[in-house]
Amino acid sequence: MRALLQRVTSAKVEVDGQITGEIGRGLLVLVCAMDGDTEVQAEKLAARVSKLRIFKDEAGKMNRSVSDVGGACLVVSQFTLAADTRTGNRPGFSSAAAPETGKHLYEYFSEALRKLDLPVENGIFAADMAVSLTNDGPITIWLDTADRA
């Protein structure tokens, strides 16, 4: 699975003008299930997101996790993280998981974060969403479970 994390002071997602998820301090997590991913990758990604130390400590160093600072996660599905831009001018998305699998793993990932005692808000899978955020830092981090043993 792939995720793009943005440390935020606030973020929200709207579908058809209605807010479906909104957080204050925490992480906006754009997530994509890749072909071949399973619940194992979703759990590993959730654990990594919950422990990643990208929030400042008292000395101003990035040494605290979203859990440490009492933050929340806004999880938004984004299949475009699977974009293959190696050739041509139009990205290909064939490495993304099939929609049924992608939806299941998106929901499973969100639940895995909740089981790690993180407040989680969500967008709506496959919807046309408007995402707003105030990026804190700015801090943006890319995670991919394929990069880890």
Q: Does this model's pTM top 0.85?
A: yes
Q: Is residue 7 part of a domain?
A: yes
- Which residues are known catalytic residues? 78-80
Q: Is residue 147 part of a domain?
A: no
Q: Is residue 146 part of a domain?
A: no
The answer to whether the CB of 134 falls within 8 A of the CB of 9 is yes
If one counts every other C-beta atom within 10 angstroms of the C-beta of residue 27, the result is 30
Task: Locate 6 and state its tokens.
Answer: 């943005």
Count how many domains the chain has. 1
CATH code: domain of residue 32? 3.50.80.10
Q: Is residue 123 part of a domain?
A: yes
**Which pLDDT tens digits describe the chain residue by residue (149 residues)?**
999 999 999 999 999 999 999 999 999 999 999 999 999 999 999 999 999 999 999 999 999 999 999 999 999 999 999 999 999 999 999 999 999 999 999 999 999 999 999 999 999 999 999 999 999 999 999 999 997 54
Range of the domain at 58: 2-141
Q: Is residue 23 part of a domain?
A: yes
